[in-house]
Structure formats: C-alpha cells, structure tokens
Amino acid sequence: MRELSPELINSLSQSVTTFCTAWKLELKDGRVFGFSEHDRDLVIDGVTYFAGSSLTESEAEHRLGFASDNGAIEGILDAVSISKSDITDGILQEAKLSRLKVNWQDPTQFVVVSVGELGQVTTRRGHYEIEWLGLSHKLGRSTGRVFSKKCDASFGDARCGVDASQFPDGTVCPKTLEACRHQFGNVINFRGFPFLLGDDGLYSGPKEGARKDGGSRYK
C-alpha cells in the first residue's frame, strides 16, 4: 500500500491539479535518466527529469494479485541521453523503469505509481516502442537445469570436458549416453539422465511374469 504525505493528498484533492507524469530509467550499469511530460525540467528526489524527452504509455494492463502487469512505452530517441546505437546494443535490456506522478509546482510531492522492467525494444524512424513488464513477471520465469535423457552440455565446453580439437572438424555430438561412452569415451561427464522415465513408463504397469520386488527395471 502506498503511503502519501498529507501535502500530496491535499494537492490531489484539489479541483484543479498541477500533476504530470514522469519516468525514471535505471540502467544495469548504474546510470539513471529522468523524463517528464512537463514543459520544463524537474528535479525529483535528486534526479533531473528532462522536458521534451518524455515517454508515453501507449498501452498498459494492470492486474490484481500475482498476475504480471504489462504495457508498452513509446518515445523519441534522445541523442543526449541514450543513442540509437546504445539501444541496438541492448543497453535497455532488463533496465528498471518507474512511473511517477509529481506536482510540477512542488516536485517534492510525488508518488511512484508503478515499477517494472524493460523487455523487447523495437525502433522505427527515430521512434521506439519498449515492452514494459511488471516485476511480477519474474515469477513466471523457468529457472534451473533441464532434466532430459540427453546431455545438456555443449560439445567441448567445460561441463562436457571433451577436447573438441581432437576430433575432425564438423563433429557433432548426438548428446546420447551411447555416443558419450563409445564415440567420445567421456561417459563420466555425461550430463543427461538416461534412465529418466517418460510418460509411458510412469503409467505402464509391470509386464506379465516380471519380478515385483521393487527393484530397478534396468537390471
């Protein structure tokens, strides 16, 4: 729940307000940029929010609970702050973007409305559109290893352990246990799970005449 100061509440309750939208962009390298839709620069909490370089929320979807907020941000490339080449090089990837409402007559009165990360960026004729993702989108990410019958290491990398230069150019590893054992002699470093049961194995019952002692089915 957001806590608003009495002064901010009083300003918001007026029939005519002096509030504008501002955006705070925090890059992963530590640089911070401020943008404002107001017609003059504003200093908010020690950060200068430049006029004439405003971002526009072209589309937004806000949801309750743990569902992810999403939207799109549009703007004009500003050579002074972030160049087109910077964006092409991915400098905006996973940057933090906060949307504020601020009283331009008294910039000490502001509230952070939403916070998210930047996603995919597309550019066209000097304009760019950025995918905006609410922080809750991280809860939907898959993390950790992939468990499969085949090896998940890349041929010749540190996890594989094979010296790829000892094999002819163009050698491809099929990532199977048999190939690791017989073709590369590297079964000790096999990174797959060859005895992992599939759906058929999980649902199948014992064969007629098979032992039912709870032992391994691979003996």
What is the per-residue pLDDT across 159-218, written as a single tens digit (0 to 9) for each? 999 999 999 988 999 999 999 999 999 999 999 998 887 777 666 666 777 777 777 666
CA-based end-to-end distance of the chain: 60
What is the distance between the alpha carbons of residues 55 and 102, in angstroms, rounded to a whole number? 15
Contacts of 103 by beta carbon, 8 Å cutoff, 6+ apart: 8, 11, 17, 18, 19, 109, 110
Reported for 201-206, long-range contacts at CB under 8 A and 24+ positions apart, including other chains, are: none
The answer for 94, left when phi > 0, alpha when psi is -120 to 50, beta otherwise, is: left
Q: Model's pTM, two decimal places?
A: 0.55
* Helices (runs of H) and strands (runs of E) counted in the chain: 4, 9
Does residue 167 contact residue 98 with C-beta atoms inside 8 Å?
no
Does residue 191 contact residue 153 with C-beta atoms inside 8 Å?
yes
Q: What is the pLDDT of residues 45-68, one digit of tens each?
A: 999 998 865 566 654 444 444 344
153 three-state secondary structure: coil
